[in-house]
Structure 1
């Protein structure tokens, strides 16, 4: 009998490996084409953004058409959008509680709407568009292959990861984001391999189309010790970064709460959804006139002026912009609250790196390092995705300063409270132990304090 047990164990192991291999092959047939389609659409989207941003730089008067462009897109959504209006929150809801699916028309609608927003100068991002493209195509593939509920949830999660990984060129962060964005404090490791495959394939596909992502340079690589060696972390510098991270977390909360509250106020003041973007467009034009600059329009990654306000310039050691982050927050909150299509993440990158740039001379911290920490930390707090943002920092800036990035993301996540840009997120493990924070409750169901 003693000789039977190893044989049975070997047979079980063989059957297990064969079953896993077969399942992986079947999933590969679905995941790889889906991710390739998402990566291709993200490549088209990023190429269009480059073209229209250059056009807007060359024709600044196009800003005057922003109110009318916003109304046209809102009217389009009102007539044919249907459930697509739910955006990222609809996808998250469908993963948690399937019912009705994600409409395939969401992908072309959000791509068109975001391109129009950027063409006319709305201060919106691109992550929302990429995630909605990924979720919409994933839902279409799930219907095509007649997947069951569990498999559909998994494919939708992979679609989120594919869109995020491709649009930012951060496949590992994209995979973790797809898992982490669904529930605060919980990860579904059953989806780990599918989201990784989807994110990597989508990023490869986007790259194969010739898309190149912006490079951000962080020159700081540690402080030399007395013997000339460089250790990877300084206790004093880590304390300063941690102090800044509290500010980053509060900025995350300010952004999310301002967007939700102002959106409610605009809906009360102007019940007609197609008319609200006109208000945001007019206010944007007034802000440009008051500030005397167009640097806060669009993504804000680069500026037509070499010394202008931009994310790239926040990483410089000679330029300091103390109030740029506040103005970008104002520009972005207004248009998002009025219904312009796009995303929040790139404006959050701007706000975070701008706040880091402003705090750097106050805390006597290298500007490029603190801009990098703020870049990911404000996003981590607003999206409740500290792990994904830490991986993003490594993929974008390198691993030399990972302790500072991790500290910034973790502290900002805790300090941002139980709010966020995605109100369909569920609470898995609360950040603080309060009676109203029951597992499974959505952020939108929490009382706003």
Structure 2
């Protein structure tokens, strides 16, 4: 659409920025990095949505199990034949569900969330979330060796992302609401709001700022409130207030942490090698995981499901040393196979399970070696949970706070901190891993942790930093039109070229200098004062700096703007607001490379 210079010269093309109200004004405010108040309002809605979805998922994944189990997760009560048949039948159902969907809609879990956050502007597909909701429930109901937190994180992230998409918010705020959804989901899943906040910031968002933290905190509080309304406010595990009895036990804890770090590192390394198999047929993968889990469950039924009932027994010291050792080996194998082959569940719950059982083993051995005066096996189980979760997820602070909120026992902090440091050091330094989610991303040939510069640029929308002082003009204009064009003192003139693949931009100062030279030339030659006054000015031929422009939607972030500049090879971008990149009244502003450089150097 060719612009009307007569109307555009009088009103700059960015006038819509100053007249918007209501939701449009909110969208523009959210494009800024420090839009705290509107972001808190969106975090409130995200917390409600993510909390409701997470509670619904938990009800769907637990309530039907009462038809064949005395209590949710008590798979030990099943007859021998059903210990084998249930995970196999579940694998068949999952294979049928995945077979009905094309490959792009089969991705689920925390790895999928990180991929969409870092590589797709936090846009979460709705179909993948639906699959996660249904398939995750089937996996848990059929006793697959996975946890419910991974699906909850996916569903929470999707709640924030889809809410932002429905409201047509800028992409930088989509990213923030995804983090709010993650925090609310973790908080709602286990009633652990503080751990939800730190997990979202430490594992997913990789960001620590006041503007980043406050909306996530609010969303986690709302998510926890929703789950308390439905399930009550009691902690997930009821344990006595046990504590470390003597500093003489610290060497035992140190050695125990090394063992946990080694197991976590081995788990990540093996999964990294097996993860590419997830591109294969889901039927083969799921049946393999289901059959192996079923066979092991015949003798060790504790491997079925997330195993929270067994975890609590380990904390209470109700399991014998030999039983704990067998359970650890069996659970390690089944969880590793289920996670590596793509069963739609999580590894956070199994990591707590493994840590608790390993802790129970360490506590029992310590009681044998050092006597009954040492701490109970339950205490070792609690600190073992923190160490294993931290080493496997590369989330030390989230793990420490999760155990504190799950047990309400502050005595775990001091020894837990030591064990987390040692376990993470072993896993990261000696096994050279960065956490199971990042390593799985890399094994699937997807980019992992973004650089600090990418992080910074992704937090800001182009609408908050674009140059708004511009005017739009056709290639040829009269001298009078040129004078009216520069009257509002724009910095740039966007030259509309309908016949060309892209418009160009000219410095308004160059046009002003050209007009001044024309005026001076006429003053020197008075008899030809009106000569050439009717000849049009070609904005592509007058002396000056011109840059070719490429189109960019106003919802984009500065990181997307930088990528568009690199990909297109253009000298700048014009930000458009409509569905079409045509130069019409929806043009909002201009982004040049110096705008991006100036922002991140501030």
TM-score range, shorter chain: 0.7 to 0.9
Q: Which residue of 1 aligns with 2:359?
A: 356
Structure 1 CA distance for aligned equivalents of residues 379 and 133 of structure 2: 33
Structure 2 contact 261–425 (Cα < 8 Å) conserved? yes
Structure 1 CA distance for aligned equivalents of residues 127 and 315 of structure 2: 39
Q: Which residue of 1 aligns with 2:93?
A: 72
Deviation at 1:353, TM superposition (A): 0.4
Structure 1: unaligned runs, 5 residues or longer:
1-18, 224-233, 303-309, 430-449
Change (3 A) 1:89 1:147: same
Q: Which residue of 1 aligns with 2:337?
A: 334
Counterpart of 2:126 (choices 104, 108, 112) is 104
Structure 2: unaligned runs, 5 residues or longer:
1-29, 71-77, 368-374, 442-447, 453-602
Structure 2 contact 122–161 (Cα < 8 Å) conserved? no
Change (3 A) 1:300 1:106: same
2:274 is aligned with 1:262: yes
Select between 345-354 and 252-261 the one with higher mean Cα deviation. 252-261
Change (3 A) 1:318 1:298: closer
Structure 2 CA distance for aligned equivalents of residues 327 and 55 of structure 1: 26
Counterpart of 2:449 (choices 412, 419, 426) is 426
Structure 1 contact 349–378 (Cα < 8 Å) conserved? yes
Structure 1 contact 52–118 (Cα < 8 Å) conserved? no
Deviation at 1:68, TM superposition (A): 4.0
2:427 is aligned with 1:412: no
Following superposition of structure 1 onto structure 2, how do residues 7-406 of structure 1 map, counting pairs within 5 Å? 23-57=35-69, 60=79, 61-62=81-82, 63-80=84-101, 82-99=104-121, 101-182=123-204, 187-211=208-232, 214-223=236-245, 234-264=246-276, 266=277, 271-289=280-298, 292-302=299-309, 310-320=310-320, 321-364=324-367, 365-397=375-407, 398-406=409-417
Q: Which residue of 2 aligns with 1:305?
A: none
Deviations 1:330-368 (A, max 9, x none): 121122223221111111111110001011122344211
Provide TM-score, normalisation by structure 1.
0.79
Deviation at 1:240, TM superposition (A): 2.3
Structure 2 CA distance for aligned equivalents of residues 428 and 236 of structure 1: 43
Structure 2 CA distance for aligned equivalents of residues 126 and 396 of structure 1: 15
Structure 1 CA distance for aligned equivalents of residues 209 and 35 of structure 2: 18
Change (3 A) 1:64 1:176: same
Change (3 A) 1:415 1:189: farther
Matched position secondary structure for 1:375: helix
Structure 1 CA distance for aligned equivalents of residues 395 and 410 of structure 2: 18
Tell which structure's C-alpha radius of gyration is larger.
Answer: 2
Deviation at 1:428, TM superposition (A): 7.0
Deviations 1:241-288 (A, max 9, x none): 222111121121222223332344x559xx322332111111122222
Deviation at 1:183, TM superposition (A): 7.1
Q: After the TM superposition, which segments of 4 or more aligned residues of structure 1 sit over 4 Å from their partners?
A: 58-63
Deviation at 1:396, TM superposition (A): 1.9
Matched position secondary structure for 1:146: coil
Structure 1 CA distance for aligned equivalents of residues 68 and 139 of structure 2: 11
Deviation at 1:74, TM superposition (A): 3.4
Change (3 A) 1:204 1:237: same
Structure 2 CA distance for aligned equivalents of residues 367 and 428 of structure 1: 42
Structure 2 CA distance for aligned equivalents of residues 146 and 163 of structure 1: 23
Matched position secondary structure for 1:406: helix
Q: Which residue of 2 aligns with 1:9?
A: none
Deviation at 1:118, TM superposition (A): 1.9
Select between 175-184 and 157-166 the one with higher mean Cα deviation. 175-184
Matched position secondary structure for 1:220: coil
Provide TM-score, normalisation by structure 2.
0.60
- Give the count of matched residue pairs: 387
Deviation at 1:406, TM superposition (A): 1.6
Structure 1 CA distance for aligned equivalents of residues 92 and 275 of structure 2: 16
Change (3 A) 1:158 1:64: same
Hey, which of these two has a bigger chunk of strand by percent?
2
Structure 1 CA distance for aligned equivalents of residues 128 and 412 of structure 2: 39
